[in-house]
Each structure stands twice: as C-alpha cells, then as structure tokens.
Amino acid sequence: MEETFAKVADAISEYWEAHERPVFDPAVPHVALHHPTFGAEEITAFTRQMLSTQVTMGREVERFEEEFCQRLGYGHGVSNNSGSSANLLMMSAVTTPLFEARLMPGDEVILPALTWSTSLWPIIQRGLKPVFVDSDPVTMNMDPAAVEAAIGAKTRAVLAVPVYGNPCDMDAISAICRDKGLLLLEDCCESLGARYKGRPVGSDGLISTFSFYFSHHMTTLEGGICLAGDPEIADIMRILRAHGWTRQVKDREKWERAAPTYDPRFIFVGEGYNMRLTEPQAVMGQIQLKKLEGFVEARQRLARKLIAGLSGWMDILQPQKTTDGGEHSWFGMPILLNANAPITRDDLCAQLNAAGVETRPVIAGNLVRHPGTRQFDHRVADKLTGADAVMDRGFAIPCHQSLSDEAVDYMLEQFSRILGQQKGRLS
C-alpha cells in the first residue's frame, strides 16, 4: 500500500509544481493580498488521512492541539472549526452555567469599535451587551484610557483585539481588568505569531482565540483554536464544542461521578454545539505549525522593507505603528492617510488596484457605523474618532510570506508614482 501511495504523493507534487502560479510576474504585475501557505506536502498529508477513513475528530486533532500549545508556549488548546466559532466558544464558556463566575444576560463587554464582525456577534448571541471604545489610529488598537473610562456598573469583561498582528498594550489593559475585577478575553484571530514583551499574544486573558482561515498566518483551510491557562475552563470548552458531551474532557472522572448510573461514553452535562475540527485538517495543521515561524519572519522582514520604502511619504501617510514592547506579526500592512493628504483614500486605492496592487479596508472599520450593529442593544462609550479615521482614511496592502522583494519593490514604485503626482498639493 505504501508503494501505491508513494505514486499518489508523487502525482500530487508533480501536479502542484506544474500548476502553481508565480506569486509575482513582472510581465503581468499583480500583487495579491494573500497567497496560500500550503502546498503539496499538506495536500499529500490531507489525502493520506482521508484515505485512512479516520476523518472525524480524534487523535490527530488532539496531537495538533498539544503541538500548538507546546510550540508556542500556551496552556491548554481546544481546536474548533473556525476563528468565528472560537469566539463563540469563548463567549459561551464564560456564560454557561458550567462556569461558576459566568456572565449573565445584560452584562457588558467592552471591545474596540475597530474590529471584525465576529468579535461582536458572539457577545450579542450570548445575551451580553457590547460597549464600544475607540482605538488609537496610529497603532489601530483599543485605547486603554478609553477602556477604563467606559467601565460602568454592569461591565463585567473586556475583549482585547490586536489589530492585524499588532499586540495591544496588555500591561495597561490587564491592570485595568485586575483593578476593576473584570474578565479579560482576547480575540487574536489576526495575530498569530505576535508577541508582547516576550509573551505570545493571547497569554494574558482567561481565554484567547486564533483563526486558521486560509489567508491567515497558517491554515487548516477553515479552523480555529481557543486557549486557556485553566484546565477546567478548557474542559468546559471541550464540552461546549461537541454537543455538551464529556467524551473529550481531560478530567472525565469529575463529570462521571455526577452521573454514576449513566454509560460514561454518553454523558451530556450542559449545552453544546458541533464545532469540531477534522483529522485531515489536523494533520495539515501539524505541518503548517512547523512552518509558522518562517512565515512570520518573512512577513516581518517585508514589513520593515515596506516601512522603510514609504518613509519618504510620511507627510501623506503613516503605516501602522507597532505597540511599544510588541513584536508585530503583520497579517497585512495597514496604512492611514493623513488628514491633510492631497489624495483621498479611495482615489489612492483605485490607482493601486488599477496597477495590480490589491488593497482592502482595515478589518470592518468602525463597526458601530455598520447597519447590523444598529439592530442590537449596545453602548458607545466615546466619540470613536480614531476608529472613524481608520474607516475613512485607512487601508491595507499585501504583506505576506510569499511576497518577493521584486513584488515589494513594485508596490513601492507604484506609491512613488501616484504620490509623486501629488507634490505641491498638500493643504
């Protein structure tokens, strides 16, 4: 059988090499926002696992969780089927009756207005009330002073969101949560591989989340993980992840004692979903995990080159500034046009796009301004001028592991060409 599979593996490699498109072709220049991190090795491992017919969550998923925590320095990992599900699982864990200090319906959770929608929806879906605070438009992260000012009588938790791989000021945010008795949670879905004062992002909160979506720092196609230092909270998330079932918990005896007459293979102790990762995804993730450090280092090197290349245009624009004490992992390169820029964000992006340089908004911009938010009860704690600035004048350009120096040079040439035409127009 191995001889037969070797032929399959060779065929996958041959097909991949023949059909993989160049990341950048100077003859037809196009710089994409993202490029797959996986290749023939991952496809081969995925295929082998499929052929084994062992595909639902099992030992490979458990191995992936263990390797993820060991390699990156986390406590306990509970994988799931997406970063969005990871956020829902996190919010479910702190609102379920299985958690003694649970949040109750109507309790408030502070989060930045500048974030992605699935930072918000799980708060609402679990009956909690979001409280939006502003972000520093330079770092694009939530302002600790705004967090402290937003705390009210019903505030019970803070959700920190490091934007595009830039760590938040976790010393300040953690101190606020300790002083005020608030739960600290972290949505790090864009920030895998980033560090704050030597600690991997996601180390400070009660629970933190990451995403393995195909365009992120590493991928299992779709997928995510929740991390917790407390093994009991990790077990609560394992129960919630799969039907309210105790099958995957580490301390099964604790739960089985509560139902001694039940078949221990089928004990349901609370609410639950089906958010499981699959075995083929897990073996793919194991391979990606070994490559993650190299992916992040490549992004960091290219970010330095982009920032240096844009340094002559700081009277017009400002790349995102890394938080003091932080080590950025650069999900992309966010840029903010200055308020007096002689060109609009939309015009600049249109010209970059026409030249083959893809651009996009910085996450969802100010979520308070989106129609969906108005459908639900929420509180706005301040004027959100920073989030508005990023929504109105911010954009992101490619900065990923597959970019060549040639592609970066091309992007910088396009900025120089477009912005050079604006000389003398600063007001």
* Contact (CB, 8 A) for 199 and 171: no
- Count of CB atoms within 10 A of residue 373's CB? 20
Active site residues: 216
For the beta sheet containing 317-319, the strands, ordered from the edge strand earlier in sequence to the opposite edge, are 317-319, 333-337, 394-397
Phi first, then psi: what are they for 76, rounded to 5°? -130, 135
3-state helix, strand, coil in the chain (%, to 5): 40, 15, 40
CA distances from 83 to 79, 187, 277, 306, 344 (A): 9, 9, 11, 28, 33
| Token reading at 264 | 């221990």
Nearest partner of 81 among 222, 182, 218, 207, judged by Cα: 222
Radius of gyration of the chain (CA): 23
Tokens representing residue 246 in the block: 């105790």
Q: Is 342 left (phi over 0), alpha (psi -120 to 50) or beta?
A: alpha
Among candidate residues 81, 78, 84, the one with its CA nearest the CA of residue 121? 84
What are the residues facing 159 on neighbouring strands? 185
Tell whether the torsion through CA atoms of 147, 152, 153 and 156 is positive or negative: negative
Phi and psi torsions of 207, nearest 5°: -140, 145
Nearest to 189 by CA among 74, 108, 85: 85
